[in-house]
Amino acid sequence: MKTQTFLFIYSRKGEVKVLNSYDNAIFEQTKEFKKWKHTATIEPCVFIENVCNRCTNKEIIDEINELKQ
Protein backbone atom coordinates (compact mmCIF):
# COMPACT_ATOMS: atom_id res chain seq x y z
CA MET A 1 0.00 0.00 0.00
CA LYS A 2 1.38 3.37 -1.04
CA THR A 3 1.15 6.25 1.40
CA GLN A 4 0.92 9.69 -0.15
CA THR A 5 2.35 12.73 1.53
CA PHE A 6 1.19 16.20 0.68
CA LEU A 7 2.78 19.50 1.53
CA PHE A 8 0.75 22.66 1.85
CA ILE A 9 2.58 25.81 0.76
CA TYR A 10 1.61 29.25 2.05
CA SER A 11 3.18 32.64 1.44
CA ARG A 12 3.05 36.06 3.07
CA LYS A 13 5.21 39.06 2.27
CA GLY A 14 7.79 36.92 0.45
CA GLU A 15 8.06 34.40 3.28
CA VAL A 16 7.07 30.77 2.66
CA LYS A 17 5.52 28.33 5.14
CA VAL A 18 5.45 24.60 4.29
CA LEU A 19 3.28 22.27 6.34
CA ASN A 20 2.53 18.57 6.30
CA SER A 21 -1.09 17.38 6.43
CA TYR A 22 -1.19 17.08 10.22
CA ASP A 23 0.32 20.51 10.90
CA ASN A 24 -1.86 22.06 8.20
CA ALA A 25 -5.03 20.80 9.89
CA ILE A 26 -3.92 22.46 13.13
CA PHE A 27 -2.80 25.66 11.35
CA GLU A 28 -6.21 26.04 9.64
CA GLN A 29 -7.78 26.41 13.10
CA THR A 30 -5.59 29.39 14.09
CA LYS A 31 -6.13 33.12 13.63
CA GLU A 32 -2.73 33.24 11.89
CA PHE A 33 -4.14 31.11 9.04
CA LYS A 34 -6.09 34.02 7.52
CA LYS A 35 -2.89 36.09 7.18
CA TRP A 36 -1.31 33.56 4.81
CA LYS A 37 -2.16 32.83 1.16
CA HIS A 38 -2.29 29.18 0.09
CA THR A 39 -0.14 28.98 -3.05
CA ALA A 40 0.19 25.24 -3.71
CA THR A 41 -0.40 21.72 -2.50
CA ILE A 42 2.29 19.37 -3.73
CA GLU A 43 3.18 15.73 -3.54
CA PRO A 44 6.90 16.08 -2.70
CA CYS A 45 8.06 12.91 -4.48
CA VAL A 46 6.39 13.92 -7.74
CA PHE A 47 7.56 17.53 -7.45
CA ILE A 48 11.20 16.58 -6.85
CA GLU A 49 11.14 13.96 -9.59
CA ASN A 50 9.78 16.49 -12.11
CA VAL A 51 12.26 19.17 -11.09
CA CYS A 52 15.18 16.77 -11.36
CA ASN A 53 14.19 15.05 -14.60
CA ARG A 54 12.31 17.65 -16.60
CA CYS A 55 13.55 21.12 -15.68
CA THR A 56 16.52 23.26 -16.61
CA ASN A 57 18.33 25.15 -13.84
CA LYS A 58 16.33 28.30 -14.61
CA GLU A 59 13.04 26.37 -14.62
CA ILE A 60 13.91 24.88 -11.22
CA ILE A 61 14.41 28.33 -9.75
CA ASP A 62 11.22 29.57 -11.41
CA GLU A 63 9.22 26.61 -10.07
CA ILE A 64 10.43 27.23 -6.54
CA ASN A 65 9.87 30.98 -6.74
CA GLU A 66 6.31 30.42 -7.96
CA LEU A 67 5.55 28.98 -4.53
CA LYS A 68 5.99 32.50 -3.09
CA GLN A 69 3.32 34.00 -5.31
Digit-by-digit pLDDT tens for the chain (69 residues) are: 667 789 999 999 989 999 999 999 999 999 999 999 999 999 999 888 888 888 888 888 888 888 777
Domain that holds residue 25: 7-66
Cβ atoms within 10 Å, residue 30: 10
For residue 2, tell me if it sits in a domain. Answer: no
Helices assigned H by DSSP within the chain: 21-27, 44-54, 57-66
Contact between 46 and 4 (Cβ < 8 Å) = no
How many domains are there within the chain? 1
Whether this prediction's pTM lies above 0.75 is answered by: yes
Contacts 24+ apart (CB under 8 A), 56-62: none
For residue 39, tell me if it sits in a domain. Answer: yes
For residue 29, tell me if it sits in a domain. Answer: yes
At residue 34, the pLDDT reads 96
Rounded to 5 degrees, what angle do the CA atoms 27, 60, 15 make? 35
